[in-house]
């Protein structure tokens, strides 16, 4: 998944104004860090998105 696709999904789910803030401030147990930290450390965007998907219990269509 491209980084632009990741942020588009984040903005659809959390809203444009809140997506980056949420990614910066929310600790995801499956990642052992925040989504923004995971991306900065080179974790694949698909891995980060799936961890968010599970954490937020999103609809299967959003996986």
CA distances, 32 to each of 26, 58, 60 (Å): 11, 20, 23
Residue 25 has pLDDT above 70, yes or no: yes
Average pLDDT over residues 2-30: 95
Those residues with Cβ within 8 angstroms of residue 35's Cβ, 6 or more apart along the chain or in another chain: 22, 23, 26, 28, 48, 51, 52
Task: Using pLDDT thresholds of 50, 70 and 90, give the confidence band for residue 54.
Answer: very high
Model pTM greater than 0.75? yes
Residue 13 has pLDDT above 80, yes or no: yes
| Amino acid 58: pLDDT | 77
Residue 62 has pLDDT above 90, yes or no: no
């Amino acid at each position: 998944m491209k980084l632009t696709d990741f942020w588009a999904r984040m903005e659809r789910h959390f809203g444009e104004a809140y997506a980056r803030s949420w990614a910066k401030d929310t600790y995801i147990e499956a990642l052992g860090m925040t989504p923004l930290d995971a991306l900065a450390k080179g974790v694949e965007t698909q891995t980060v998105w799936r961890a968010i998907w599970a954490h937020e219990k999103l609809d299967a269509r959003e996986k």
